[in-house]
Amino acid sequence: MDVVSPELNSLLPDEIMDTEAIEDIPQSQPDSTTARPEPSADTSVPMETDTPVAASENLSLCLDTSSTGHTQAVTTSLTTDSTFSITPVSQLPVSISSTSSPRFTLKPAMATSTATTKTTDSLTGTSVTTSGLQKLSAPFTISAANHQIILNKVASAQASEAAKAAGMQPQIIKQDGQKLLVTAIGKSGQPIVLQLPHTGSKPGVSLAAGDNKSAAPQYKVVTIGGRTELKPMMATAGNQLTTLQAQQLKAVQIAKKTPTSSAAPIKFIITKTVNSKGLNPQTSVSPVIAGRVLTQTSPVLPTRTITLTESHNTSIQSIAGKKIAISPLKTPSKVTVVSVASPTSNTSGKSVTLPVNVALGQQILAVQQSTSASPVKVATSQATSQNMKPVQSVAVGGVSGAQFKTIIPLATQPNVQQIQVPGSRFHYVRLVTATTASSTGQPSGPSTSSIQTAKPMVVSTGAVRMSVPIVPAQTMKQVAPKPLTSASVVTTTQTQQRLIMPATPLPQIQPNFTNLPPGTVLAPAPGGGNMGYAVVPAQYVTQIQQSPFVTLASGSGFAANTGVQTQAKLPLNGLSTADSTSRQRKPCNCTKSQCLKLYCDCFANGEFCSNCNCNNCFNNLEHETERLKAIKTCLDRNPEAFKPKIGKGKEGESDRRHSKGCNCKRSGCLKNYCECYEAKIMCSSICKCIGCKNFEESPERKTLMHLADAAEVRVQQQTAAKTKLSSQISDLLMRTTPVISSGSGRLPYTFVTKEVLEATCECLLEQAKKAEQTHQHQHQHQHQHQHQAEAERMILEEFGHCLMRIINSAGKAKADCASINC
DNA sequence: GAGTTTGAAACT
DNA sequence: CAGTTTCAAACTC
């Protein structure tokens, strides 16, 4: 079932990948999206399955994209029994060979002119050689009943063409009705279908290309690298294709670029699905991932495992401080792309488990792991109630500079799938149609999780293991997001259906996802139902999160919600997430632009106006139609209008520069009029400014910097002083303020008690009496007024003495109390 | 806070 | 693409 138009599918991969984190990757390189050069330390995200069915079975996917980029091959070398490792290499020919041992090597290569397939099936091992398609060699034992893993090799466009010419058919290795599809979504798109044995203990893989007769074949598509089309796989799948379409395959592209030789942790990237330009609807059929545990490690290196596992319980699983929560969707729908930062702390041999509960029919477009070390949590939410509308939420830990997009297919029934990524600029929420829940015909009671029926498939390959729990699509009925404990994780446990965006299809507005600002609504796929995509600003995601039980008006738009909108905490001009989150965007003051032009900072930043001072603001959901038109207009004028102007430098701020350069004439680029100066970056050669003083050696700039630094230091000092003083005052108050204790009325550290007061008064009275007596006996001749003055003096002195005694007593009591730590 | 300056965005 | 206008932020007083 096509829920998204082919155009959208073709756009999605790039869209998804359009994040700041990936901006550094040259588009020219085919594998740039999937495999990015990363520090070795950041490249691995080990993940473990919570409950691997077969411990002996491990599947490790080691993807290494060649620097050349055009050719990307996946080589799976079998080192030990029941180990499955896939190492992408720059090899075009595809050969699947298995030795006597259960080794399975997959080497997706660029398609060659010949499309020959060699299949060897043995109990101990299976070798499949497919020239012109892929070469897969890896020892493996795959046990997942009725589960398939599709790994798409990554190939260049040329390769894909050649593969097409060669009649690329997915290599199907079928064993006991189990299917493993190894395919590279993207460039070459040569899918390899491996039919997985029901029992994982049996090594070896039987290869049967195009032969799939499993009663209820369920496919798991894992795409490694590649940005190009997926359609070859689908188109050439033969009956497999039909089955796949029927099963509504969902593909998860795992892009990883890590030198196999380096001992650095492997970076695990689950990224966008196929970049399917020209992808036909059939090919665009999203592969279904019922559940999976992926362990990705480098075969040569210490064990690095990335495990995508389907948890059986609703509890959130956090591994290595990263969690990705993916809520399965009842109905097959488009893919959600999530960028996930890889933890830097990951070390070899360290495993990270990504619980992924994905019901069949649900789609995950891409999960991208960025390079930042910020913790990321991936959790899969699962439906708890049948009647509940599936809400799919993906929470990704904040990644500096990384942008995350959640694409929400619009549906007539507003099912909300939301992704929150702290620090990301764009938040896309997926609207999922909840229509097929009952269609499955299976009775689903509340708190019924299809995942419970999932059977994790574990493929063990030495240090690497991959377990993929697979859940039949029929079992998946409802999806409820799991509560996420991490601050970076969105916690949405609401069971209510929520509509984030108006479901009204806007076919005229289909801007490139790459540049889509939040709020963009993409037209539903032609003939694909009412499914569309909506890009929702972060603040709305936040809003939803904050008020999970608030149901927004569906269909007819949204009720006035500006009041509940929260400021999105988004990176600005490449600043770190922390910086962006530490402050809120300034409210705009637009008066004439209706906040629908780039004059408006809110609009330009892809945010809805919130708490602004603007007049006649249309930058809100109430005027979504106008807003969308304005977005389209801006994009037509400048496709990169909503991209950050300040590109993120490769290695820090030194490389940051304005994408267009400034045009200052009178400010000397030393005032905030200058966008470069405002972004605290130097003007570059692309600037067209006149009289620029914003360069490294500029004395004026240095002076300003010094002044600014001094001012900043001063402010910090003042702030610190205030904070300290406040703290001291607070502490003092805490210590000296009477704390009413229950009952007695005596107050600790309060020494002017009733008794003290009475005693003081008695002293004063006694002093007064004494003064009176003195006057009567000794100074009768004095005047009355003199007597009064003397009496007052004596009383005051006595009062002073009393006070001194009180203070001394208090001090002594305090000291005594401190000595006993009271 | 009002008025001015400035440069990006929008327009022609 | 260049020139002009519009616009809102930055800045000054």
Rg (CA), chain A: 34
Say what the pLDDT of residue A384 is.
Answer: 37
pLDDT band at A586 (very low <50, low <70, confident <90, very high): confident
User: pLDDT by residue (tens digit) across A348-369?
Assistant: 333 333 333 333 333 333 333 3
Same domain, A757 and A810: yes
pLDDT band at A663 (very low <50, low <70, confident <90, very high): very high
Same domain, A637 and A614: yes
**Is A801 inside a domain boundary?**
yes
Indicate if the pLDDT at residue A754 is higher than 60. Answer: yes
Same domain, A593 and A624: yes
Same domain, A661 and A630: no
**Is A556 inside a domain boundary?**
no
Q: From the CB of residue A349, how many other CB atoms can be counted at a distance below 10 Å?
A: 15
Q: What is the C-alpha to C-alpha distance for residues A650 and A134, in angstroms, rounded to an integer?
A: 33
pLDDT band at A810 (very low <50, low <70, confident <90, very high): confident
Indicate if the pLDDT at residue A471 is higher than 80. Answer: no
Q: Region A782-807: what's the mean pLDDT? A: 81
Same domain, A678 and A638: no
Closest nucleotide to A672: CA versus each C1': C10
Q: Region A365-393: what's the mean pLDDT? A: 37
Say what the pLDDT of residue A646 is.
Answer: 79
- Is A144 (CB) below 7 Å from strand B? no
Say what the pLDDT of residue A672 is.
Answer: 92
**Is A339 inside a domain boundary?**
no
Say what the pLDDT of residue A594 is.
Answer: 92
Q: What is the C-alpha to C-alpha distance for residues A774 and A797, in angstroms, rounded to an integer?
A: 16
- Is A627 (CB) below 7 Å from strand B? no
Instruction: Report the distance from CA of residue A730 to the C1' of nucleotide C11 in Å, as an integer.
Output: 39
Say what the pLDDT of residue A764 is.
Answer: 86
Q: From the CB of residue A783, how many other CB atoms can be counted at a distance below 10 Å?
A: 9
Same domain, A617 and A662: no
Mean pLDDT of chain A: 50
Nucleotides of B under 7 A from a protein CB: 5-11
Specify the range with the lowest mean pLDDT, choosing from A508-512, A544-548, A646-650: A544-548
**Is A814 inside a domain boundary?**
yes
Q: From the CB of residue A246, how many other CB atoms can be counted at a distance below 10 Å?
A: 13
Indicate if the pLDDT at residue A617 is higher than 60. Answer: yes
Query: Do A83 and A464 form a contact (C-beta atoms < 8 A)?
Result: yes
pTM: 0.35
Same domain, A596 and A632: yes
Q: Region A642-655: what's the mean pLDDT? A: 66
Specify the range with the lowest mean pLDDT, choosing from A169-183, A546-560, A639-653, A687-701: A546-560
Q: Region A595-612: what's the mean pLDDT? A: 91
Q: What is the C-alpha to C-alpha distance for residues A122 and A181, in angstroms, rounded to an integer?
A: 19
Nucleotides of C under 7 A from a protein CB: 6-11
User: pLDDT by residue (tens digit) across A551-560?
Assistant: 333 333 333 3
Same domain, A681 and A624: no
Same domain, A762 and A804: yes
Looking at per-residue pLDDT, the higher value among A378 and A703 belongs to: A703
Structure tokens given for A741: 């204790």
- Is A14 (CB) below 7 Å from strand C? no
User: pLDDT by residue (tens digit) across A279-328?
Assistant: 343 333 333 333 333 333 333 333 333 333 333 333 333 333 333 323 33
User: pLDDT by residue (tens digit) across A80-137?
Assistant: 343 343 333 333 333 333 333 433 333 333 333 333 333 333 333 333 333 333 333 3
**Is A174 inside a domain boundary?**
no
Indicate if the pLDDT at residue A545 is higher than 60. Answer: no
What percentage of chain A carries pLDDT values higher than 70?
A: 23
Say what the pLDDT of residue A349 is.
Answer: 37
Residues with Cβ within 8 Å of A219's Cβ and at least 6 positions away in sequence, in order, are A148, A150, A179, A181, A193, A243, A244, A247, A249, A287, A288
Instruction: Report the distance from CA of residue A165 to the C1' of nucleotide B7 in Å, as an integer.
Output: 54
Residues 678-707 of A with CB under 7 A from strand B: 689
- Is A590 (CB) below 7 Å from strand C? yes
Helix (H, G, I), strand (E, B) or coil at A92: strand
- Is A631 (CB) below 7 Å from strand B? no
DSSP-derived letter for residue A302 is S
Indicate if the pLDDT at residue A444 is higher than 60. Answer: no
Among A695, A728, A762, the domain-final residue is: A695
pLDDT band at A783 (very low <50, low <70, confident <90, very high): low
Indicate if the pLDDT at residue A633 is higher than 80. Answer: yes
What percentage of chain A carries pLDDT values higher than 90?
A: 6
Instruction: Report the distance from CA of residue A642 to the C1' of nucleotide B7 in Å, as an integer.
Output: 19
Say what the pLDDT of residue A320 is.
Answer: 38
Say what the pLDDT of residue A603 is.
Answer: 92
- Is A663 (CB) below 7 Å from strand C? no
Say what the pLDDT of residue A666 is.
Answer: 92
Q: What is the C-alpha to C-alpha distance for residues A343 and A353, in angstroms, rounded to an integer?
A: 12
Among A617, A643, A669, the domain-final residue is: A643
Specify the range with the lowest mean pLDDT, choosing from A468-472, A698-702, A792-796: A468-472
Residues with Cβ within 8 Å of A416's Cβ and at least 6 positions away in sequence, in order, are A389, A391, A392, A393, A408, A429, A430, A431, A432, A497, A498, A499, A500, A544
Range of the domain at A765: 753-774+786-821
Looking at per-residue pLDDT, the higher value among A822 and A492 belongs to: A822
**Is A707 inside a domain boundary?**
no
Find tokens 């003064």 and name the residue: A771
User: pLDDT by residue (tens digit) across A16-38?
Assistant: 334 333 334 334 443 433 333 33
Say what the pLDDT of residue A708 is.
Answer: 75
**Is A763 inside a domain boundary?**
yes
Q: What is the C-alpha to C-alpha distance for residues A3 and A275, in angstroms, rounded to an integer?
A: 16
Helix (H, G, I), strand (E, B) or coil at A389: coil
Indicate if the pLDDT at residue A434 is higher than 90. Answer: no
Say what the pLDDT of residue A675 is.
Answer: 92
Query: For chain A, how many structural domains are there in total?
Result: 3
Residues with Cβ within 8 Å of A755's Cβ and at least 6 positions away in sequence, in order, are none
Instruction: Report the distance from CA of residue A192 to the C1' of nucleotide B5 in Å, as an integer.
Output: 64
Same domain, A768 and A803: yes
Indicate if the pLDDT at residue A770 is higher than 80. Answer: yes
Indicate if the pLDDT at residue A799 is higher than 70. Answer: yes
Among A601, A628, A643, the domain-final residue is: A643
Say what the pLDDT of residue A761 is.
Answer: 82
Same domain, A619 and A639: yes
Instruction: Report the distance from CA of residue A676 to the C1' of nucleotide B6 in Å, as an integer.
Output: 14
Same domain, A810 and A759: yes
Residues 358-387 of A with CB under 7 A from strand B: none
Closest nucleotide to A667: CA versus each C1': B6
**Is A152 inside a domain boundary?**
no
Say what the pLDDT of residue A803 is.
Answer: 83
Say what the pLDDT of residue A668 is.
Answer: 92
Instruction: Report the distance from CA of residue A629 to the C1' of nucleotide C6 in Å, as an integer.
Output: 20
Residues with Cβ within 8 Å of A656's Cβ and at least 6 positions away in sequence, in order, are A574, A646, A647, A648, A649, A679, A681
- Is A593 (CB) below 7 Å from strand C? yes
Beta bridge partners of A179: A174, A195
